[in-house]
Amino acid sequence: MSVPSAAEPLRFAYWVPNVSGGLVTSTIEQRTDWGYDYNRELAVLAENSGFDYALSQVRYMASYGAEYQHESTSFSLALLLATERLKVIAAVHPGLWHPGVLAKLGATADHLSQGRFAVNVVSGWFKDEFTALGEPWLEHDERYRRSEEFIRALRAIWTEDHTELAGDFYRIRDFSLKPKPLNTPERPHPEIFQGGNSTAARAMAGRVSDWYFSNGKDFDGVTEQLADVGAAAAAAGRRVRFGLNGFLIARDTEAEAREVLREIVAKADTEAVHGFGAAVRQAGRSAADGKGMWQDSSFEDLVQYNDGFRTGLIGTPEQIAERIVAYKRIGVDLLLLGFLHYLEEVEYFGKRVLPLVRELEAQLPHTETAAATVPTAAPV
């Protein structure tokens, strides 16, 4: 599978800290804030530092360090209205949203932002969010089946008139949305992202999603997932773009960066990390083949709750830039990044890391194959 190089620069997104507790479940100082004023400043800084996207998290109740949470779609719209170029992805749960209601909200947000709204369809890992609200908790593969039907309904409503659907989870009868979202040269409707590491998630992404988000992975893990998602997409006559999660610690020396990682893990909130691990493993264990998300995550991995340390973006700007471009060479289209101290580190990334990435990209051949050799690197 050939992948574009310098002709299509790697894109960057950041996790919006719209829930309290930061991006690591640790008592280490995190100079970040879940409130709107901080996040508005961060969004403007991020778009001026080279970020293309921001992803608003979705949590509906206190859990594992996230005591307070702002709702993702309304928060995303607020960030869209505070920025000029940044695309904001709102995470949403099928089962807690009807696709027609979300389609209506998304169309309005897309018009208000001149085509910068996107969604991330989250099949769900936190059982208590559903049961506390009186909603049924489906087992793993059924959650992905519902998500696929949700995405098919959402896309149909955004692109067709008189939508009809008699599904197992949703019923739609002669529904026409007006106005529809913007249809731009970049995209015919708001981009649809989807996460999940399981076999069911990979197959579903190939069939219906625009983007597939992976938890943090090393080169071998990314290569495996790219092959699976790419095969599923090819079978459906489609192309799915690939986004990879990573927690970035860039410092002037590698020793400084490694010391930050050591301190994060040493100060982990052990009870919260173990509680999160138990919840997510239960959610993924019911996958038909037992390969749900987080099934092989260690305690250290779970301190960053999307396995962000595994991606290995820890070191000097030069080391990180080389590793980022190595991921691009094997087919990654987007890096979704988390940080310890957001304002300072997003600015540092924009000034010190991103220019090096662009220089290395410019040296790539116009097209490389996904089998391109990648440098070996010591595990994080």
- Per-residue confidence (pLDDT) for residue 105, from 0 to 100: 98
- Per-residue confidence (pLDDT) for residue 370, from 0 to 100: 44
- Per-residue confidence (pLDDT) for residue 62, from 0 to 100: 82
CB 85 within 8 A of CB 114: no
- Give dist(CA 190, CA 87) in Å, integer: 10
- Condensed to tens digits (0 to 9), the pLDDT of residues 126-158 reads 888 899 999 999 999 999 999 999 999 999 999
DSSP line for 274-335: HHHHHHHHHHHHTSTTS--TTTT--HHHHHSTT-GGGG--EE-HHHHHHHHHHHHHTT--EE
- Give dist(CA 239, CA 216) in Å, integer: 21
- Per-residue confidence (pLDDT) for residue 1, from 0 to 100: 33
- Per-residue confidence (pLDDT) for residue 288, from 0 to 100: 59
Q: Which amino acid is at 161?
A: D
CB 336 within 8 A of CB 15: yes
Tell me the sheet residues that pair with 171.
166
- Per-residue confidence (pLDDT) for residue 286, from 0 to 100: 53
- Backbone dihedral angles phi then psi of residue 81, each to the nearest 5 degrees: -75, -15
- Give dist(CA 37, CA 61) in Å, integer: 22
Contacts of 87 (CB under 8 A, 6+ apart): 52, 53, 54, 116, 117, 118, 191
- Per-residue confidence (pLDDT) for residue 254, from 0 to 100: 98
Tell me the sheet residues that pair with 192.
119
- Per-residue confidence (pLDDT) for residue 284, from 0 to 100: 52
- Give dist(CA 342, CA 214) in Å, integer: 22
Q: Strand 314-315 and strand 249-250: pairing?
A: parallel
- Per-residue confidence (pLDDT) for residue 289, from 0 to 100: 61
- Give dist(CA 339, CA 246) in Å, integer: 9
Tell me the average confidence (pLDDT) per consecutive run of 10 residues in the chain, 380 residues long.
59 97 95 97 98 95 84 98 98 96 98 98 88 91 96 98 97 98 95 93 97 96 96 97 98 98 94 73 56 67 89 98 98 98 98 98 74 39
Dump strand ranges (E) for the chain: 2-4, 11-16, 53-56, 87-92, 117-121, 163-166, 171-175, 192-194, 211-214, 241-247, 249-250, 314-315, 334-338, 367-369
Tell me the sheet residues that pair with 3.
368
Q: How far is CA 358 from CA 10, 126, 325, in A?
A: 9, 38, 9
Q: Which amino acid is at 145?
A: R
Q: Strand 163-166 and strand 171-175: pairing?
A: antiparallel
- Give dist(CA 35, CA 129) in Å, integer: 22
- Condensed to tens digits (0 to 9), the pLDDT of residues 249-278 reads 999 999 999 999 999 999 998 888 777 677
- Give dist(CA 32, CA 261) in Å, integer: 17
Give the tokens for residue 136.
């049924």
- Give dist(CA 212, CA 7) in Å, integer: 21
Stated pTM of the model = 0.90
Crossing angle of the two packed helices 219-235 and 199-208, in degrees rounded to 10: 50
